[in-house]
Structure 1
Amino acid sequence: MFLRALALVFLAVPAVAQTSDVGFGQGDFDSSAPVEVAADNLEIDQATGRAVLTGNVVIAQGELRLSAGRVTVEYATSDGARSIERLNASGDVLIVAGDDAAEGQEAVYTLGSSDILLTGDVVVTQDGNTLAGDRLVVNLDSGAGTVTGRVRTTLQP
């Protein structure tokens, strides 16, 4: 489905295309699922409301997995309760949602909107096909995403 449409786009557009839509995950992501975290080190700063995870960081929520060298967790306070607002990941970031994977150098995951911004030599892999660019923006609830920058693809027959 996605790949056939993508193939038609690339046949009709010159190789210097700057934007490409991409599906990512199944679009049925459960943002209310518990967030599981593993890392070699954890530093918490109560004054700023941040936690910094370093070394083999893996964060999982339902079918979503994020791994990176470093993740800063930012919290929001509402009515006296703290909740995770945003994850800022850096260092060989890998995001896996179901059978889809995306890698880059930095990512910002905003939990409230279920949006992920991945930057830095982005590569998306789906069913053996790859799509690369400078930046991926994806919404986990809808599964809709856009790759921008110097967009390149490899399609398997």
Structure 2
Amino acid sequence: MKALPASLLALLLAAVSTAPTVVLARSSDRNQPMDIDAGNADYSMDEKRPTVLSGGVTITQGSLRITSSRADITQRRGDPVRAVLTGAPVKLNQQLDNGTPMSAVASRIDYDLTTEIVVLTGSVSIQQPSGSLSGQRVVYNMKTGQVQSGGQGSGRVKMRIQPKNAPATPAPTSGKGGA
């Protein structure tokens, strides 16, 4: 089995280090070594087939830590163009440039490098001290900084915005009270 090319490693980082948030992920992480641990790797020189990492994938780079069941990387002309991470669920933790922690959980994270759009789907939850966002689908345009979120079917978008200097608390999981 051949080692993964550096461009694929860069793609994996880019795919998940840009989770939707108004505060930027730790930019210095991109200059750190990346460690990938997976049960299996299926890499092909044929660009018609994606590179597949599976069997429990863990990616660490600086303060970034990602866990997923699988990562599919697509290339065109030797350059990565798309990364799709799936899991039960995909989990991302990273320290932001301002020093605060950020975590995201989703069933799937799909990053299109050509359009620079990241789509998180399936029970998405993004937490940081300044607030939280949850829903079934979150789309983040890295070029414009625009974030769109929505539910599927009867799903709803839930947000909690913390007042400045207040402790963080998770967003409520349902709109109905009860004990």
Q: TM-score, normalised by structure 2?
A: 0.59
CA distance in 2, matches of 1:60, 1:106: 18
Query: Contact 2:91/2:105 (CA < 8 Å) preserved in 1?
Result: yes
**Percent same amino acid at aligned positions?**
25
Q: 2: CA distance between counterparts of 1:115 and 1:35?
A: 24
Residue 90 of structure 1, aligned match among 79, 86, 95: 86
The separation in 2 between residues aligned to 1:145 and 1:64, in whole angstroms, is 21
**Of 115, 134, 137, which residue of structure 1 is paired with 2:136?**
134
Where 1:94 maps in the other structure, the secondary structure is strand
Count matched residues: 132
Larger relative strand fraction: 1
Q: Separation in 1 of the partners of 2:59 and 2:116?
A: 15
TM-score using structure 1 length: 0.65
Deviation string 1:35-88 (CA, Å, 9 cap, x unpaired) is: 8333121012333242100122133566654321011111111xxxx1211111
| Cα gap change, 1:66 to 1:50, in 2 (>3 Å) | same
Residue 151 in structure 1 maps to residue 157 in structure 2: yes
Question: Unaligned 5+ residue runs, structure 1?
Answer: 1-21
Task: Note if contact 1:26-1:143 (Cα within 8 Å) is conserved in structure 2.
Answer: no
Equivalent residue number for residue 76 of structure 1: 76
Query: What root-mean-square deviation, in Å, do the aligned CA atoms of Structure 1 and Structure 2 show?
Result: 3.2
Moved over 4 A (4+): 27-30, 32-35, 60-65, 140-144, 154-157
Cα separation, partners in 2 of 1:58 and 1:140, compared to 1, 3 Å: farther
Partner AA of 2:21 in structure 1: G
Measure the CA separation in 1 of the matches of 2:139 and 2:33.
21
Contact 2:26 2:63 in 1 (8 A): no
C-alpha change, 1:143 and 1:112, in structure 2 (3 Å) is same
* Secondary structure at the counterpart of residue 24 of structure 2: coil
- 2:74 and 2:50 map into 1 onto residues whose CA distance is 5
| Distance in 1 separating the partners of 2:57 and 2:92 | 12
Q: Could you say which residue in structure 1 is the equivalent of 2:127?
A: 125
